[in-house]
């Protein structure tokens, strides 16, 4: 069986969502595909290499198998992974591979897991690997579409985005950096989170107004820079975009990863164009 799940893009609310504020997140039309076939032992093949159950090279897939084994007796499986989502980019590659793996295992081994069960299991896998997780990424990969969190309200996203990948970054390092800044300046940082929260809410109510949303993108980026998750490289790239009348911001933890903006006919060099993916996880082939 082959199953696929989409990646995601955080439009607004990075870091603030960790502290109880809102975030606006969309699935994107870049997918991870996982092929699963029953076998006598485990074999996992991806761009990272070929292994058996391996919790270092293939931690997300290996823990997904371990969690799935709680509902089905899996003696072995041949698993092949192909992904359009860059690893370590902040575009949800880890969640997509977890969700697609669980869906393909479910189909191959005849276990009828619904989307909510797949999401809950995927969230546990994220925690197994990362120690903590909001659950937003596996939710988006499971259900598709664009949503305002934490209330899970659907939002219509009517335009495409350009995305530039600056390379891998450490989410944990950026989260820790923001936590340390908050400890040193709690009242200031809380006010910044409040402002980001308002931006996410305003964006969710006005996604059809390109000019308005572009203003919010610029405001959100300034606030992310204020909490220390931008870099000189990111700042220079965004300034270059501004000179070309493009507006952009970080998506994800920052410190690297990706920046994005609304695609209005200008495609920056080295960028890819993505749009909201309305469909979540799905079986593609029997």
d(CA 63, CA 53): 9
Euclidean distance between CA atoms 127 and 221, whole angstroms: 28
Question: Catalytic: 112?
Answer: no
Neighbouring C-beta atoms of residue 61, cutoff 10 Å: 29
Distance from C-alpha of 11 to C-alpha of 156, rounded to nearest angstrom = 12
Sign of dihedral through CA atoms 83, 89, 94, 99? negative
Cα distance between residue 99 and residue 260, in whole Å: 24
* CA pair distance 182, 220, nearest whole angstrom: 17
Dmax (CA) of the chain: 58
* DSSP 8-state assignment for residue 276: B
Which one is catalytic: 137, 194, 197, 235? Answer: 137
Whole-angstrom Cα distance, residue 120 to residue 105?
A: 15
Rounded Cα–Cα distance for residues 97 and 121 (Å): 13
Catalytically active residues, by annotation: 137
């Amino acid at each position: 069986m082959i199953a696929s799940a989409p990646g995601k893009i955080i439009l607004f609310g990075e870091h603030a969502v960790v502290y109880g504020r809102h975030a606006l997140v969309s699935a994107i039309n870049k997918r991870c595909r996982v092929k699963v076939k029953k076998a006598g032992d485990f074999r996992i093949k991806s761009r990272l290499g070929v292994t058996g159950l391996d919790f270092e090279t293939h931690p997300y897939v290996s823990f997904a198998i371990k969690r799935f084994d709680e509902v089905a007796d899996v003696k072995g499986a041949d698993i092949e992974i192909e992904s359009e989502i860059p690893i370590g980019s902040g575009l949800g590659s880890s969640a997509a591979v977890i969700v697609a793996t669980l869906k393909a295992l479910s189909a191959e081994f005849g276990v009828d897991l619904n989307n909510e069960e797949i999401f809950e299991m995927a969230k546990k896998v994220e925690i197994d690997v990362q120690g903590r997780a909001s659950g937003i990424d596996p939710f988006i990969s499971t259900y598709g579409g664009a949503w305002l969190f934490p209330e899970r309200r659907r939002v219509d996203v009517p335009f495409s985005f350009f995305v530039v990948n600056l390379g891998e970054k450490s989410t944990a390092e950026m989260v820790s950096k923001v936590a340390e800044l908050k400890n040193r300046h709690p009242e200031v940082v809380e006010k910044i989170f409040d402002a980001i929260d308002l931006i996410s809410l305003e964006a969710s109510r006005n996604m059809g107004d390109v000019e308005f949303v572009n203003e919010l993108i610029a405001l959100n980026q300034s606030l992310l820079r204020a909490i220390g998750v931008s870099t000189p490289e990111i700042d220079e790239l965004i300034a270059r975009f501004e000179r070309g009348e493009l507006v952009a911001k970080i998506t994800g933890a920052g410190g690297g990863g990706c920046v994005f903006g609304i695609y209005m006919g200008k495609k920056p060099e080295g960028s890819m164009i993505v749009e909201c993916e309305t469909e979540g996880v799905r079986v593609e082939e029997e």
